[in-house]
Amino acid sequence: MRKIPTLFRRDPEDRRRVLDEVDPECRWVLDGEGVATRKYDGTCVLLDTDGTWWARREVKPGKAQPPGYRPVMTDGTTGKTVGWEPIDRSSFAKYHAEALAAHAGEPRPGTFELIGPRINGNPEGVRGHALVAHAEADRLDVPRDAPGLREWLLAHPAYEGVVWHHPDGRRAKLKRRDVTGPEQLA
């Protein structure tokens, strides 16, 4: 797991804002490459090839890593380390167990979004806890320019955002909250 870069550069003066300037690492999106999918608003979990479940976890600089934690990368700007902790040590363990019990069939290894009533205030509006395989996320037909993306995201308030998947494995994202201010992507 690598932190997915945001399609547009973040404002160095206010990291909550994005600028109307594409991140060079994500230029391929505006060039029409890759597939757009819905970004679900939950928490990321992983089923590895050994059948072990993990929860995504960020550790702030200077804080101790939890037992069993597997760091993946450290953000050079924020200093936060992103990695995986065993699901049974996660604060989401109970909700993950509920989602897994309700899941149809045997999940295949990969990443999932854990969504539900006790996850982030349930912005997805689901009745029970559920697992959405990222590999099976809804495909979207979205614009590939800043004004068009802003308009599209504002017209779809139920979506947290968009994640683009390049055939070579690269990904890029844009969250609705990145474009909701009047000065965003103007």
User: What pLDDT does residue 185 have?
Assistant: 55
Average pLDDT over every residue of 5-22? 88
Q: What is the mean pLDDT of the chain?
A: 92
Give yes or no for a contact between 55 and 119, defined as CB atoms under 8 angstroms apart.
Answer: no
- Burial group, residue 60, by CB count within 10 angstroms (0-12, 13-18, 19+): exposed
Can you give the pLDDT at residue 184? 55
| Span 125-149, pLDDT tens digits | 999 999 999 988 999 999 998 899 9
User: What is the pLDDT confidence band of residue 40, given thresholds at 50, 70 and 90?
Assistant: very high
Give tens-digit pLDDT for 59-107: 999 999 999 999 999 988 889 999 999 999 999 999 999 999 998 888 9
How confident is the model at residue 168, as a pLDDT? 94
Local structure of residue 31 (DSSP, 8 states): T
Residue 97 host element (H or E): helix 93-102
**14 — alpha (psi -120 to 50), left (phi > 0) or beta?**
beta
Model pLDDT, residue 142: 96
Q: What pLDDT does residue 181 have?
A: 60
- The pLDDT value recorded for residue 167 is 94
Give the per-residue pLDDT at 186.
46
Rg of the chain on CA atoms, in Å: 17
pLDDT of residue 1: 62
